[in-house]
Amino acid sequence: MSEMSNDSKYLMKVLKTAPTKEIKEEVKHVSASTRKKLGEILVEKGIITSLTVERILPLCTKARKRFGTILEEIGLISSEELAQALAIQYGCKIVTDFAKYQFSQEVLKLVPMETAIEHILFPLKVQNNVLALAVYDPTNEKVINNLKENNKMQIHPFMATRKDINKAIVKYYLNKDISESIDNTIIIVDDDKLILKELSNMLKGEGYNIITACDGYEAYKAIISNKPKLVITDKTMPKFSGYDLLDSLKNIPETNRIPVILISISNNPNEEATAYEKGFFDYISKPVREMTLKAKVKRALKSHSHLISFHS
């Protein structure tokens, strides 16, 4: 198996030359029975208080999200602080800013692009039949075990921030660089090319920068790399539905404030109410009327601008 390019001196230093035996001993050092809770580590580091832990735990149960994810989303801890705490909790090392180095196709193929994007993972290096893997969530044991079984090799996890992993995914899997957000960028998603063209034409005259995608998965990739101000998506599409796309965006702090408008041809009178309950910013029924689309787009962009200003 090919290793990472020789010019990746940084990773050679960070990852070292750990054989499988050494890796097993390091992971065994922090077993599940002796592992500290994340809140305990953050309190010991003086990043949050015990009272904060007590108040956040009910929110985790209600939102069905992990403790660290909630803290990061509401801004009580930074991505770097979360990665450092998780590294202590699981006995991992940290890898940072690795997108600027080179990675071979042989290494990238070990983690399918869909898996990397969905679970926020990135393959760093292979040595002695051990895959060094950048992870955002070290508790995702099912996916890690699947990669271990599929590739017939051991996995050595390294903690990394979601931002660093996504930057590497966009650069090496999507062959793009994460662009700075343009104020008027809108991503439109529909598996019907005629409808995509129709909606694009309705909005291009308003001066918006329109990016189109034929399914939710393609849209997800475009959103990560382009940081749009608004997403307009059809409900039913192959691979990734409009609801799947919304769920994915809501789970990432970098995208969970992007307003998403759902478009649907459904005759169900409760569809609109369901869309709002799930977290869509707005709802438009097909066929789409141009004046309705323009009005709702302007309202969504205005709301997003106010929200970003409030949190900045």
Residue 118 banded pLDDT, cuts 50, 70, 90: confident
What CATH number has the domain bearing residue 52?
3.30.300.160
**Are residues 96 and 214 part of one domain?**
no
Average pLDDT over every residue of 240-259: 86
- Measured CA to CA in angstroms, residue 247 lies from 55, 93, 107, 156, 242 at distances of 24, 30, 29, 29, 9
* Domain annotation covers residue 179: no
Least confident stretch, 9-13, 67-71, 167-171, 204-208: 9-13
Q: Domain check: are 163 and 29 in the same one?
A: yes
- The pLDDT assigned to 31 comes to 61
Distance between CA atoms of residues 116 and 119, nearest Å: 6
pLDDT at 268: 79
Closest CA to 169 of 204, 124, 207: 124
Supply 61's token pair: 């149960």
pLDDT at position 225 is: 84
Q: Do 205 and 132 sit in the same domain of this protein?
A: no
Matching residue, tokens 């066929």: 287
For residue 223, give every residue at least 6 positions away whose Cβ sits within 8 Å of its Cβ, in sequence order, or none. Answer: 187, 231, 249, 255, 258
| pLDDT value of residue 30 | 54
User: What is the pairing mode between strands 130-135 and 121-127?
Assistant: antiparallel
Instruction: Check if the beta carbon of residue 47 is closer than 8 Å to that of residue 38.
Output: no
The residue type of 112 is P
pLDDT above 70 covers a percentage of the chain that reads 85
**CA 133/CA 187 separation, integer angstroms:** 31
Domain of 150 in residue numbering reads as: 9-172
Query: Pick the residue with more confidence: 188 or 216?
Result: 188
Of residues 223, 234, 218, 231, the one with CA closest to residue 186: 231
Does pTM surpass 0.75?
no
One domain, residues 233 and 96? no
CB 47 within 8 A of CB 81: yes
177 lies in a domain? no
pLDDT the model gives residue 265: 87
Q: Is 82 part of any domain? A: yes
Q: What is the pLDDT of residue 50?
A: 96
The mean pLDDT value of the chain amounts to 85
Residue 31 burial (CB < 10 Å; 0-12/13-18/19+)? exposed
Say what percent of the chain tops pLDDT 90: 57
Confidence band for 8, pLDDT divided at 50, 70 and 90 = very low
15 and 164 co-located in one domain:
yes
pLDDT at 179: 62
Q: Enumerate residues 6+ apart whose C-beta is below 8 A from 177.
A: 170, 171, 225
Q: Specify whether 95 is located in the same domain as 231.
A: no
Judgement on whether residues 167 and 50 belong to the same structural domain of the protein: yes
Contacts of 124 (CB under 8 A, 6+ apart): 4, 11, 15, 95, 98, 103, 107, 131, 132, 133, 134, 158
Q: Which among 143, 172, 201 is the end of a domain? A: 172
Between 204 and 85, the more confident residue is: 85
Rounded distance between C-alpha atoms, residue 279 and residue 256, angstroms = 10
Mean pLDDT of 100-114: 92
Q: Indicate whether 148 and 197 sit together in one domain.
A: no
Q: Locate the DSSP E strands across 136-259.
A: 154-159, 185-189, 209-213, 230-234
129-153: buried (b, 16+ CB within 10 Å) or exposed (e) per residue? ebbbbbbbbbeeeebbeebeeebeb
Overall number of domains in the chain: 2
**Whether 162 and 198 share a structural domain:** no
**Which sign does the torsion angle of CA 53, 58, 59, 61 carry?**
positive
- CATH code of 274's domain: 3.40.50.2300
Mean pLDDT to the nearest integer, 180-207: 88
Predicted confidence band of residue 307 (pLDDT cuts 50, 70, 90): low
pLDDT at 14 (0 to 100): 53
Q: Given this model, what pLDDT does residue 204 score?
A: 85
Q: Which residue has the tokens 């090919």?
A: 2
In this prediction, residue 181 has a pLDDT band, given cuts at 50, 70 and 90, of: low
pLDDT at 116 over 50: yes
Same domain, 279 and 156: no
Task: For residue 262, give the 3-state DSSP assignment.
Answer: strand
